Amino acid sequence: MSEAGLTCRHCGRPIAVPASRCPWCNRTIMVICAHCKQYTDDQEAFCQHCGAPLEPDQPEGLRIGVGLDDRMAQFITDHRRAHLVASTVVAQDLSGFFYSDGQRQTVLVDLFGPSPDPPRQAAALLFAAIVYLLRHGYCALQQMEDGRSLLWAEKRPWDGQTVSLEGALARQAGLGQTLLQALRAAVAKETDVAPEKEAILPRQRGPRAAVPSFLAAERVVEIARYTMLPEQPGKEAYLETYRTLADFVRQEPDLARRIAEEVLEALTWFR
């Protein structure tokens, strides 16, 4: 399968972005090159990008997890590949990131309101994870043909903690899904909370209108709080994370509000 065509050789359907499996038939179509870490045709002898003899990258967890139970293998894997992810940094100091004194307020207060109950905490953490993935070049948002939806696309494979909101969202990228669909799928998979039936939930727009599920929200917050970090975040880590969020909101105000709306709307699909 040539990358230019981006058509599944098994079912013949178009593929929006490179991915290991076809989003339609779920059959393998590409692998990650062990040398340059980019997706390439799994049937070619050489990588399409760097030209090296094709050697599929082996997930680190498989290499180091031999002889260990799943939980310990996951702990070792995440310890070795931990990034200072935004969602967990924010989760360590939610009161600071939701600061408001009546005269000044943080960007999260502006987007989600001044009372960070569990649903709005969860929304803020998912927002921070999305911004992290966008700013660090893991994912991209692309306008879809309908002019209303945003495609959640993969730019490069996630190489950070498996147990993290960033990892959960990155694993949903490249599957031909909208941002809303990716959020719903990630939350459902990671929190094990069933989505509500579409027919009985009115669609509400606006960060302050939606009322997400407390159970799903509490589990989202728990994931962020217990994600392994490479080190205990200090003052500079908090400041850098806040600058990243504030710069994104300042440079992309409409997109930031759109993401905030999509996050809260996604959370309303859970009981």
140 with 21, same domain: the answer is no
As a whole number of angstroms, the distance between CA 52 and CA 205 comes to 49
Residue 65 falls inside a structural domain: no
Count of domains for the chain = 2
**203 burial type by CB count under 10 A (0-12 exposed, 13-18 middle, 19+ buried):** exposed
Residue 62 falls inside a structural domain: no
| Segments forming the whole domain that contains residue 150 | 70-267
pLDDT score of 71: 58
pLDDT score of 213: 62
pLDDT score of 44: 83
223 with 192, same domain: the answer is yes
Strands 150-154 and 139-143: antiparallel
Beta strands of the chain (E only): which ranges? 30-32, 39-41, 139-143, 150-154
94 with 214, same domain: the answer is yes
**129 burial type by CB count under 10 A (0-12 exposed, 13-18 middle, 19+ buried):** buried
Last residue of a domain, one of 14, 33, 57: 57
As a whole number of angstroms, the distance between CA 251 and CA 107 comes to 12
129 with 5, same domain: the answer is no
pLDDT score of 233: 83
As a whole number of angstroms, the distance between CA 245 and CA 106 comes to 10
Structure tokens of 95?
Answer: 């009161």
Backbone φ/ψ region at 6: left (φ over 0), alpha (ψ -120 to 50), beta: left
State the pTM of this model: 0.70
24 with 154, same domain: the answer is no
240 with 133, same domain: the answer is yes
pLDDT score of 25: 72
pLDDT score of 214: 83
44 with 75, same domain: the answer is no
Last residue of a domain, one of 35, 57, 79: 57
Residue 150 falls inside a structural domain: yes
By percentage, how much of the chain surpasses pLDDT 90? 49
Residue 226 falls inside a structural domain: yes
Query: In which residue ranges of the chain is pLDDT below 50?
Result: 1-4, 59-68, 198-212
